[in-house]
Structure 1
Amino acid sequence: MDDLGSNTVALDTANDVAAAALQTDGLGCHAGKERLRSAAEAAGMSETLGQYAKDYPQGPHDQPQSMCPAFGSLRVGLRMRRTAMVLSGSACCVYGLTFTSHFYGAKRTVGYVPFNSETLVTGKLFEDIRDAVHALADPETYDAIVVINLCVPTASGVPLRLLPKEINGVRVIGIDVPGFGVPTHAEAKDVLAGAMLRFARLEAEQGPVQAPRAPRAGKPTISLLGEMFPADPMQIGAMLDLLGLAAGPVTPTREWRELYGALDCAAVAAIHPFYASCVREFESAGRAVVGSAPVGHDGTAAWLEAIGVACNVARETIDAAKNRLLPAIKAALSAAPISGRVTLSGYEGSELLVGRLLVESGADLRYVGTACPRTRFSEAD
């Protein structure tokens, strides 16, 4: 079992197995974040947890009380065509995640590799995951297989990084999304989306890749970062058209080959500001990233300016776009003022955009709460 890496535990006797099993049983979801984190660090996961701490810093209220963060990664994968999702974690966690996923409309099977204390500590769980991935890797059915380690496998150091990167032309992506390392399910979307972007970026650097399903725009595109409603890209695209630009794919994408289209852009609009891993990949590809969004009068003016500058749009074109859009926005806000005190709270990182619009509409906004951290892309808001 040496090929499984240094995280594999060598057990010489039945007594050793029993002792290790008893110890591991204590590392269930009930063990507490600090104990799970300490176990994960001892199992060689310090680098991963350290990166999560940088990407998703926790605020004064610590981790919000919400659903399991891994739901965010699972949801991203289940919304993609030709992508298989496999969970590795405690059965109760897997049940809750699959139930929630199907409650939110998922119509796809979620794979699960079960384990017990013995298979966890002997390394057999990793072998079972590897066997499951090989069994799933049908290029006629899938472009990618995603394996997600939940709390217990992460704390035990199950090394998904040792899975093959590709089997029969099917990509294999392993990520750790522990509740003690990723604060919210919103940020967990970034964990998987960023891992996929990285894989796609490295593929594109090696040579030609499959063209996206949608035809290539005849103008430079702006990739949109963050989940949004179906009408949003069309409305943003209409604004971009005034700048001589077009809306590109939305990340997280709905299909693997859309990732190539997202990377092939003039700039990126970080509509949701907490996608730290995705931003890192876009910037590694040499793409400028612009924060905020075209919301309200002042927000739209600032966003058009920032996008125009990032894409070297002529000054007269930027000013013409503002003159076309801003008077109508100002008139609409004036026609529907909001009076009264408002308290705003949310969890997806766009709360500051809503708050900005409320203030412009005349609301007495005293407090904005969010589960996501402050980033350089939310500074303007």
Structure 2
Amino acid sequence: MEPIALSAEQPQGHTCKLHPQSMCPAFGSLRILSRIEGSHPVMATDTGCLYGLTFVTHFYGARKSILAPTLGSAELYSGEVVEGTRMAIEAAAREPGCRLVPVVSLCVAETAGMPEELLPRKVGDAEVVLVRVPAYAIHSHPEAKDVALEALLRRLGDRESPREERTVVVLGEVFPADQLAIDAILRRMGVEATIALPGRSIDDLRRAGRAAVLAPLHPFYKGVTRLYREWGASVAGGAPVGISGAYAWLKSIGALLDLDPALVDRVAEEEREKAQAVLAAKSLKGARVLVTGYEGTELAYARLLVEAGAEVPYVSTSIGVDPLSLPDELWLKARGTQEVAYRKALEEDMAALDRYAPDFVLGTTPFAAAAKERGIPAMYFTNQLASRPFFLSGGMAATIGFVAETLERANRYREMLAFFAE
């Protein structure tokens, strides 16, 4: 599901970016839709895509079937896309406890034409929500998460009830301990409740429409951010990353909710002191690191590493340019990062490996493998970083500790290279 390694015959400087070099972007939507309790997804696509996406979705923890109509050449030629999808919706709605049927419309259905007005809006007790995620229009699986959440919130978000003036929607898939830490520190400042999205509860989606502030922790939720601005809610930029980032983020939340300034200052200052203590205990000074991946969070991780003393000359990500990512990009470039590549390709990462001779690489599986072939310590960005905290001082300690420990084992990589070269 990831890009293959480069062959010697592939020309440099002619990178095709018309399609993603990762798993089908629809995986991002299915990942969050299949985890919602009471949700039974329907996928409108051809058999090959259904097989691949179902496999990957179950591999990442889905515990329910994904229903789909039969969409082969005969059905497409005869114009039975809508009819087949309606039958699949009705079958999903009959599942015990079904409250939501998200219809994920992929490339084939979108190309053939999937008119939303011909699909039911509700079947029995189940809401039916169309989520359009053709890979030719959505180039990364993080951005497909944004598409799915925006569609759900537009349909389910409660805008009729009074606004909850001290409730914050914390937006982004994060390590579970991070969500607990963020909730705890915000409550200390006077926030009454946080709602974590994407999550498992349909009721959280409804309640999210009443929240006063949206805090997108990741920079690819541009559709959801746009929706909250339409609703007149405030949006907190940035994320609680590192010393300066966490301090500014906490102060921003306090200002947007009109919390007690003295209390906010005290909590933010305490957190800043904890983060400074983390850096005093362990530094990455002198290490050159390349941060590459397709999760959409690469710039934030690079920022943390730079603050810890590392040199990060090159950062790449699969998401597109967006105002949400601009502050981190400017921050990085002001502190020595020479290149930030959006909609990246493996070819660009390989060229950066030649230019910068890093001490450590965070990247996709093929890129990490290429670095290891040169005796450079390398880790798979997605699994190695997603499996540990990242935000606030606790996440800072976990991330810096992981990178530092890997750098301390650098000799092993060189020894293995020398061993197999003999």
TM over 0.5: yes
* 3-state SS in 2 of match to 1:297: helix
Contact 1:268 1:288 in 2 (8 A): yes
Which amino acid counterpart does residue 302 of structure 2 have in structure 1?
A: G
- C-alpha deviation, 1:111, in angstroms: 0.6
Where in structure 2 are the equivalents of 1:162-241 lying within 5 Å?
162-201=118-157, 204-205=158-159, 220-241=166-187
- C-alpha deviation, 1:330, in angstroms: 0.6
- C-alpha deviation, 1:242, in angstroms: 2.9
The 1-side partners of 2:225 and 2:312 are apart by 30
Residue of structure 2 in register with 1:313 after alignment: 259
Deviation string, structure 1 residues 199-226 (Cα, Å, up to 9, x no partner): 013xx34579xxxxxxxx9x82211111
| Partner residue of 2:71 out of 95, 98, 115 | 115
Contact 2:47 2:70 in 1 (8 A): yes
Query: Do structure 1's residue 290 and structure 2's residue 225 form an aligned pair?
Result: no
- C-alpha deviation, 1:264, in angstroms: 2.4
Residue of structure 2 in register with 1:94 after alignment: 50
* 3-state SS in 2 of match to 1:266: strand
Q: Which runs of 5+ in 1 are unaligned?
A: 1-58, 209-216
- C-alpha deviation, 1:281, in angstroms: 2.3
Residue of structure 2 in register with 1:76 after alignment: 32
Normalization by structure 2: what TM-score?
0.70
Cα gap change, 1:156 to 1:242, in 2 (>3 Å)? same
| Partner residue of 1:145 out of 101, 107, 117 | 101
Which amino acid counterpart does residue 287 of structure 1 have in structure 2?
A: A
The 2-side partners of 1:225 and 1:278 are apart by 9
Which amino acid counterpart does residue 349 of structure 1 have in structure 2?
A: G
Q: Which runs of 5+ in 2 are unaligned?
A: 1-14, 329-422
| Partner residue of 1:363 out of 292, 300, 310 | 310
Contact 2:22 2:294 in 1 (8 A): no
Where in structure 2 are the equivalents of 1:255-274 lying within 5 Å?
255-274=201-220
* 3-state SS in 1 of match to 2:20: coil
- C-alpha deviation, 1:108, in angstroms: 0.8
The 1-side partners of 2:94 and 2:224 are apart by 28
The 2-side partners of 1:233 and 1:269 are apart by 12
Contact 1:86 1:145 in 2 (8 A): yes
Residue of structure 2 in register with 1:349 after alignment: 296
Query: Do structure 1's residue 299 and structure 2's residue 245 form an aligned pair?
Result: yes
Residue of structure 2 in register with 1:375 after alignment: 322
- C-alpha deviation, 1:60, in angstroms: 9.6
Contact 1:86 1:111 in 2 (8 A): yes
- C-alpha deviation, 1:140, in angstroms: 4.9
Contact 1:224 1:247 in 2 (8 A): no
Which amino acid counterpart does residue 309 of structure 1 have in structure 2?
A: A
Which amino acid counterpart does residue 301 of structure 2 have in structure 1?
A: V
Contact 1:121 1:156 in 2 (8 A): no
The 2-side partners of 1:276 and 1:63 are apart by 20
Deviation string, structure 1 residues 152-195 (Cα, Å, up to 9, x no partner): 11111132442011121310112221110110111111111110
The 1-side partners of 2:263 and 2:295 are apart by 33
Contact 1:291 1:378 in 2 (8 A): no
Residue of structure 1 in register with 2:373 after alignment: none
Contact 2:67 2:92 in 1 (8 A): no
The 2-side partners of 1:207 and 1:353 are apart by 35
* 3-state SS in 2 of match to 1:83: coil
Cα gap change, 1:331 to 1:205, in 2 (>3 Å)? closer
* 3-state SS in 2 of match to 1:196: helix
Which amino acid counterpart does residue 165 of structure 1 have in structure 2?
A: R
The 2-side partners of 1:61 and 1:136 are apart by 36
Which amino acid counterpart does residue 170 of structure 2 have in structure 1?
A: L
Contact 1:139 1:168 in 2 (8 A): no
- C-alpha deviation, 1:68, in angstroms: 0.6
Which amino acid counterpart does residue 279 of structure 1 have in structure 2?
A: T
Alignment RMSD: 2.3
Cα gap change, 1:122 to 1:160, in 2 (>3 Å)? farther
